[in-house]
Amino acid sequence: MNTTTDDLKDRLLDAALSHVPFDGWSEPTFRAAVTETGTDPALARTVCPRGAVDLALAYHERGDKEMLRRIRTSNLADLRFRDKIATAIRFRIEAISDKEAVRRGTALFSLPLYAADGAKAIWGTADAIWDALGDPSDDYNWYTKRATLSGVYGATVLYWLGDQSPDHRDTWAFLDRRIEDVMRIEKMKAKVNENPVLSKLAAGPEWALSHIKPPPKMPRGDLPGFRTRPQE
């Protein structure tokens, strides 16, 4: 996608955002954005073949880019790794400029027709976080880490959407509890590996899983670290 196309999608997205709280990520919202930006409808469809659905995904990508910018410009070196993860997720949520746009997007991507797009977007966020924090995984852990983080991020966003506490402090407490749950699982896995009996039982499955490799990197626009599984 060239710069001209990127700029046009950004303009359409900026125009659409004022309509999303009223009409959601819908065809009327897309048509209003096309009209307000003076864009030829055929050209707009070339940039966004699915109309507002593509703009909703562009809005999610915009948040990912802002999160990565904050990670790159922040000093996280002295933080525990779990705190780096929590900070990255907080950066991602704080990068959201319009809570109602996310609420409407959640409704859109809960529809069966677009559920896969929503899951892919969240997976891309988790992947971007792990890559930005220097995850070295090259086996099945590449998948499990991203799947786990996708769950934590998705649950935290849903909690945040209903959070009315000052500065969303209840959301950050919720996030800390979810990460603590994940750490408990990791500690349990470590104890299994230390146990001579349980480690032997797990040796076979772990050997098989260790031969699962992550897919090659497939860049999505300017988002570093986004990967998709190869076609079967």
Question: Using one digit for the tens of pLDDT, what is the confidence trace for 197-207?
Answer: 434 444 444 44
The answer to whether residue 228 sits within a structural domain is no
Q: Which domain holds residue 195?
A: 3-210
CATH code at position 70: 1.10.357.10
The answer to whether residue 174 sits within a structural domain is yes
The answer to whether residue 215 sits within a structural domain is no
> Is residue 223 classed as helix, strand or coil in its secondary structure?
strand
- In tens, the pLDDT along 118-134 reads 999 999 999 999 999 99
The answer to whether residue 110 sits within a structural domain is yes
Look at 226 and 108; give whichever has higher pLDDT: 108
The answer to whether residue 230 sits within a structural domain is no
The answer to whether residue 113 sits within a structural domain is yes
Give yes or no for residue 59 having a pLDDT over 70: yes
The answer to whether residue 20 sits within a structural domain is yes
pLDDT class of 214 with cuts at 50, 70, 90: low
Q: What are the CB-based long-range contacts (under 8 Å, 24+) for 12-15?
A: 12/37, 12/39, 12/44, 12/47, 12/48, 12/55, 13/55, 13/58, 13/59, 13/62
Q: What are the CB-based long-range contacts (under 8 Å, 24+) for 19-26?
A: 20/98, 20/100, 20/101, 20/104, 21/98, 21/100, 21/101, 21/104, 24/52, 24/104, 24/107, 24/108, 25/52, 25/53, 25/55, 25/56, 25/104, 25/105, 25/108, 26/52
pTM: 0.81
Q: How many domains does the chain have?
A: 1
Give yes or no for residue 109 having a pLDDT over 90: yes
The answer to whether residue 181 sits within a structural domain is yes
